[in-house]
Structure 1
Amino acid sequence: MPSRRTLLAGAAGLVAGGGLVADRVRLGELDAWTPDVDTWPLPRYDLANTASVPDVSVPEDPAVDWTASVEPPSHALLQSLVVGSDRVYAGAGSLAAVDRTDGSRVWEDETPVRALSRRGGRLFAAGGTDETASVTAYDAATGERAWARDLPASPVGLTVAAGMVLTATRIGSVAREQGTGIRRWGGEAPDLQTQPLVHDGALFGHDGYELARFRSRSVLDVPLRAPPAAEWRTVAQGGRVSAPVGVGSRVLVPVQQRGFQTDAGAPALRAVGATTGEVAWRAVTTDDRDTFLTTQHAAVDAARNRAYAGVYRQWVGEPTSGEGFRATVRAFALEDGTVAWTHEAGTGRFVRDVVFAGGRVLVATARNEGATGGRAGDVRALDPADGRERWRVGFDAPVGALAPVDGTVFALTGTGTVAALR
């Protein structure tokens, strides 16, 4: 396979008689987009979903400096937060752009949002139900709509690469030109039911059962608007991938287990070879069929050769008590998946987000409905050396998304509150 060919490219043109002009078919290199450390432009910061900005500063003893609001999401997980050089963009039951300095509202749109991405002077938002799903490009400064297009189903992930806006939905994916919104490929395949991953010159996604690495689109695929074909697939073993993470020659696969009975030995986190799909290691497994494990949102700490992720366990005997969950944050060695330390996030509590920034592991938590004790949600900073808690800011609502930039940690709660911690 040609190395680092773009996976999302479209045709640059056809000759008048319908023949293909090979040198005008845009199959260029996949762009190596490294976001500015002073921004948070994608749901997991970069194309590799690392959620890692080690060089940015974070506060040492923060308090809430300002708050702004959007309409609350219809579901706790349906919210997104990205940050540009001067704006914070929050998407939930509606979309709002607020000033990064003081939280004053700059513009807003009533459209419900599930996923956001910011690039090249534009904000891209995907949202809606299966009946109303769409992706929209806004002028990031003014909120003016540049284009809006329908989606085949409710979106679950959004990324921008190689001049294309790739939206993953519940039953398929669509790639559209960043500037015009013209569809270059899409449909039920590839079925990417997670935040897309671009790593090792390839597109990776998950269809609810298998992680797949996709091939470059061929010269014939382009005029036919055919989607890329899978180069390999590997079964997730027990559940759905949350957001795969690219690091070095591997892909980390966080798994959300399905149901209350886990397959024996099913891992909550595993690593596979980016080129081969072969499993390198499995971590946090259980042979106890009365529990199930879930990992969400791994963040990479390359300097320490670690990844940090929230892991929770639920006991079948207490599925509705609210206290049947035990959440932790764990530090995994990238080499073999061994656990270096464990932070107890609390019984009856979820870990909704984990990012690594400025020498701290930042964690967003949410108390499960029916559970007692502690605030409804909080943001915590952990020491990456040993997992000790360095500070905590509590909220009267679950916290669902974090974005650290330039001495500030922005947080979005389940009631639609955007908070700046400084």
Structure 2
Amino acid sequence: MPSRRAVLAALTALAGCTDGSPSADSTGSPTRTPTGTGAGAGTETPTWTPTSDAVPVRWRHETPHQVLDAVSVGPGVDGPAVYVGSDGGGAGTDGHAFHALDPADGTERWRVSLPTPVVTEPIYADGESGPRVYVATRRSSDAAELSALDPSRGTRVWGFDAPERRRVYPLGATDRTVFVGTRDDDQSRSGEAVHALAAGDGHERWRAESGDAFPNGGAVRRDTLLVRTPARLRALDVETGEERWRVDSPTVMYGPALDSRGERLFVGYDGTVRAVGVADGHERWRREVDFSISGVLTPRAAASTTVFVADRTGRLLALSPQDGGTRWALSVGGDGVRPHVARTSERLFVGGPGVYALDPVSGERAWSFTPSSVEVRVHASTTAFAAVGRDRIHAFDPADGAERWRFAPGPGLAGPAAAGDVAFVGVEGTVYALDGSPASEVNGT
């Protein structure tokens, strides 16, 4: 399976592979359709089209769906892919499908029809049975199933039905196995299970008792599966399901966040932050904080050397991963806010009631963008993108915060997912690749 570093490098490289300039037969609009011939490319005119003078569009891909509900970027069999899930209309038993697009030009690589919509981001793994993409789909309002897709053929290989009145979440995968957790509405320490399913045919290799699973509540590190449930973190052997160690908490647990080497993890609960060794579960340090923790984070990009602890009133504490010492603190305000972070080589971006660009070493604020009380999600690489609710997305110069453009189609914006200078979003049934590079900067709203 590709390393995270290799995938990030590939995503950054692909973001610069097109220049976003108008095509030869353009009449001044930077919008263009894909040059490939994949299914769905350039087949219909969308109901809504961005203002061409305001937002540079590298490509657009028109799906046969009325609504898109999930847009993400991740590894694929032919390199990084833009994954798109429908929310109804035109394909599959009930009008649903899952698509993989080429990030460079929007050409459709493959499409799998599904009876119900995808509700989780895909997990990709390559192994002895060939490549697999795992997604959970909503079977009904209170149940779900896991689908294993073969991206080399564009087919659904097998499915795993959750027990009655249960949802399922893929927790991680190896070259041989995908790990799935179940959940009902109780969010308890027990009563659920982790299932280890064979990549080839979906048969169960082992099952371990568990509490309720969370989205993004699992990770695989070497031969260890980490599983977070409401008040417990467990380390399981990926081959046998045997428990190696556990961390229990008296209240809801946040994390785990992993250090850049994958040797330590960090969890928080009830005013306490702990660093634990991944291999043995031994505590490395413990730190008490004077607020109610709402998140323990380490940014994925640029190999962060800091642990961030957030609270619900908009505070963010930067800690040393070595000893838990405070490096700096930030307050962005806002009741019920859960700040999140993104990192580049030169900036740290905090999302919450706005976007805050900081020096990652000192915490000094370089610039900020605070449009409203609506939560803002930030995605940063060579361009900083800020998604305001599901209404609009802004592109900023990461150095000084100058706005390059804003894309405001109204309610129903799916995504975004970002790589380098490109943000991928869905509007109605169309996927847009929006160019945020300085060369494409225009003045518009």
Q: TM-score, normalising length from structure 2? A: 0.58
2:120 partner letter:
R
- Backbone CA RMSD of aligned residues: 4.6
Match of 2:388 in 1: none
Match of 2:276 in 1: 272
Query: C-alpha distance in 2, partners of 1:310/1:57?
Result: 31
Match of 1:326 in 2: 314
Give the deviation of 1:156 after TM superposition.
3.4
Match of 2:311 in 1: 312
2:3 partner letter:
P
Query: C-alpha distance in 2, partners of 1:414/1:376?
Result: 20
2:117 partner letter:
T
1:228 partner letter:
G
**1:238 aligned to 2:251?**
yes
**1:212 aligned to 2:234?**
yes
Post-superposition CA distance 1:232-285 (Å, at most 9, x none) = 221235313344425547432344x6xxxxx4xx23x43112234233234572
Match of 1:149 among 160, 164, 185: 160
2:82 partner letter:
V
Give the deviation of 1:353 after TM superposition.
5.3
| Residue-pair matches, total | 330
**1:134 aligned to 2:137?**
no
Match of 2:120 in 1: 114
Query: C-alpha distance in 1, partners of 2:257/2:156?
Result: 31
Higher gyration radius (CA):
2
1:281 partner letter:
W
Q: Is 2:158–2:202's contact at 8 Å kept on the other side of the alignment?
A: yes
Match of 2:34 in 1: none
Give the deviation of 1:98 after TM superposition.
2.5
Match of 2:74 in 1: 82
What is the DSSP-based 3-state SS (H/G/I as helix, E as strand, rest coil) of the residue aligned with 1:174?
strand
Give the deviation of 1:376 after TM superposition.
5.8
Gaps of 5+ in 2: 21-54, 88-95, 184-191, 355-369, 383-396, 438-445
Give the % identical residues. Answer: 19
Once the two structures are superposed, the pairs formed by residues 140-289 of structure 1 within 5 Å of their partners are: 140=151, 143-152=154-163, 153-170=166-183, 171-186=192-207, 188-189=209-210, 192-193=213-214, 194-199=216-221, 201-215=223-237, 217=239, 228-245=241-258, 247-248=260-261, 250-255=263-268, 263=270, 266-267=271-272, 269-283=273-287, 285-286=289-290
1:114 partner letter:
T
Once the two structures are superposed, the pairs formed by residues 320-399 of structure 1 within 5 Å of their partners are: 325-326=313-314, 328=316, 330-342=317-329, 347=334, 350=337, 354-357=341-344, 359-361=346-348, 365=352, 373=372, 377-379=376-378, 381=380, 390=399
Give the deviation of 1:335 after TM superposition.
0.6
Q: Is 2:124–2:134's contact at 8 Å kept on the other side of the alignment?
A: yes
Cα distance change on mapping 1:398 and 1:277 into 2, 3 Å: farther
Post-superposition CA distance 1:105-136 (Å, at most 9, x none) = 55364522223112333321123268532111
Q: Is 1:212–1:233's contact at 8 Å kept on the other side of the alignment?
A: yes
Match of 1:4 in 2: none
Q: Is 2:193–2:209's contact at 8 Å kept on the other side of the alignment?
A: yes
Query: C-alpha distance in 1, partners of 2:154/2:337?
Result: 34
Give the deviation of 1:294 after TM superposition.
0.7
Give the deviation of 1:201 after TM superposition.
3.4
1:123 partner letter:
V
2:118 partner letter:
P
